[in-house]
Amino acid sequence: MPKDTVTLTDNSTGKSVELPIRRGTHGPAVVDIGNLYKDLGMFTYDPGFVATASCRSTITYIDGEKGVLLYRGYPIEQLAEGSNHLEVCYLLWYGRLPSKAEYDSFVDTITHHTMIHEGLKDFYSGFHRGAHPMAVMVGVVGALSAFYHDFLDINDPMHREVSAQRLIAKMPTIAAWAHRYSRGQPFIYPQNHLGYAENFLNMMFSFPSEPYTVNPVAARALDLILLLHADHEQNASTSTVRLAGSSDANPFAAVSAGVGALWGPLHGGASESVVNMLKTIGSVANIPKFIERAHDPKDTFRLMGFGHRVYKHYDPRAAIMRRTCYDVLKALNVSDPLFEIALKLEEIALKDDYFVQRKLYPNVDFYSGIILRALGIPTSMFTVIFTIGRTVGWVSQWNEMLTSDERKIGRPRQLYVGAPQRDYVPLEKR
């Protein structure tokens, strides 16, 4: 039987090493290069981690060629159809679906952690009113470590669990308050009789001066968006959380680093950029001009909400989002001209040689903004909503990293191409 190894030869010296192949449940096998430096005195070079698996994981799996996404083995379509965000939170953290009693108890726990420390309320007033809500998120999430230091022993499973529950529970409150602060509106406290998404919408839109009822269509649509964003393998923000957490930093510090990484327009910030792009395009007639710009390598314009490092097929989350746009707009009786532009843009791009050759399809961010707009969520809050959904993924991946038997501080190497060693010349002699 052939050996499950890869042999790598340095042709300049003729020295060879045999590297073991590791195989997972699904997906490409990996070459274990752990001993490469020891045996061959070389590192591997892979900017952007295009061909590098950074860890072993049991949480989420993407088949980018087929457009498959599994959370703990369950297809995203089935979870979107039959589950809800808090059940998915349980699934991602504990690795299995809960019984009815476990589910009820988990929901109760999360519900009773939704309040945030009163001292944190004062923290908001330090921010500029015009600050982007993601700037507020980065700050307030990091500040949680200054308020909840009673459960910060990262080596204690119970402390990790409580911190994870706090993050999942408090994120909607922190997020809604970031919005309220920007508007100069009163902070609305969480209500324990409301569901997770419902509570967020209530904190976003209600006023102490009058009764407010959350539209169940809006609550269900938002819950679905959170569920679809819950985890996505080793993306930039998750890898950031793992890397920050690998130094044994506390979970609030690690997750706030993840919030920062998510903010960028190539990652979670794309949802906001898509809507801004659709507004700039302005009408179906202008689409070809923007498609031309996307072709031009000298133009920095990209079709936001298109393309993905892993998916070379339609993103299954985008397919669910697209269907949901029709349902939500109809149920809420909303007509959005941007939806028409988005549909036409997709149709044109999917037939365009440039996009076809590069296998660029709509990703999760392409249609999410259309739904969020229909719910009355301001554009600047789109990435914040992604943050709420992804929190469970971050904490589950952080927990997996800390409990792995391969746990190590993350510390990539480099190919140094700077100046060779040289002597310092004193200022007066230069």
| Residues classed as catalytic | 308, 365
Contact status: 225 vs ligand CMC (CB under 6 A):
no
CA distance 305 to 364: 7
Under a CB-based contact definition with an 8 Å cutoff, are residues 100 and 271 in contact? no
Interface with ligand CMC, residue 358, by CB under 6 A: yes
308 in contact with ligand CMC (CB under 6 A): yes
Between 50 and 427, CB nearer to ligand CMC: 50
Among 116, 338, 364, 395, binds ligand CMC (CB under 6 A): 364
Binding residue for ligand CMC, selected from 124, 306, 367, 394, defined by CB under 6 A: 306
Which structure tokens are listed for 170? 């408090």
The stretch among 73-81, 173-181, 327-335, 356-364 that binds ligand CMC (CB under 6 A) is 356-364
Least Å from the CB of residue 407 to ligand CMC: 26
Q: Is 365 in the site for ligand CMC (CB under 6 A)?
A: yes
Binder among 307, 316, 369, 393 for ligand CMC (CB under 6 A): 307
Question: Any bridge partners for residue 172, and if so which?
Answer: none
- Burial readout 220-250 (b: 16 or more C-beta within 10 A, e: otherwise): bbbbbbbbbbbbbbbbbbbbbbbbbbbeebb
Tell me which of 159, 309, 313, 344 binds ligand CMC, using CB under 6 A.
309
Residues 168-207 that bind ligand CMC (CB under 6 A): none
* Min dist. Cβ of residue 383 to ligand CMC (A): 9
Q: What's CA 66's distance to the chain center, in Å?
A: 21
Site string for ligand CMC, 33-62 (x = CB under 6 A): ---------------x--------------
Binding segment for ligand CMC (CB under 6 A), chosen from 108-116, 152-160, 169-177, 267-275, is 267-275
Residue 399's φ and ψ, nearest 5 degrees, are -65, -40
Q: Is the dihedral of CA 159, 165, 170, 171 positive or negative?
A: positive
Of residues 285-304, those binding ligand CMC (CB under 6 A): 294, 302-304
Which lies closer to ligand CMC via its Cβ, residue 128 or residue 358?
358
The least CB distance from residue 297 to ligand CMC, in Å, is 6
Measured on CA atoms in the order 72, 78, 84, 87, is the torsion positive or negative?
negative
Our CB check for ligand CMC shows the closer of 170 and 308 to be 308
Strand partners, 8: 17
Contact by Cβ (8 Å): 305, 266? no
Residues 144-173 that bind ligand CMC (CB under 6 A): none
Which residues, 6 or more positions from 425, have their beta carbon under 8 angstroms from its beta carbon?
Answer: none
Is-contact 228 321, C-beta < 8 A?
yes
Site string for ligand CMC, 233-252 (x = CB under 6 A): --x-----------------
Q: Which residues pair with 20 in a beta bridge?
A: 5
CB closer to ligand CMC, 48 vs 426: 48
Q: CB-hemisphere CA count at 13 Å for 279?
A: 10
C-alpha span between 344 and 348 (Å, rounded): 6
Residue 108 makes CB contacts below 8 A (sequence gap 6+) with: none
**Residues that bind ligand CMC in the complex, under the rule CB under 6 A:** 48, 235, 266-268, 270, 294, 302-309, 358, 360, 363-365
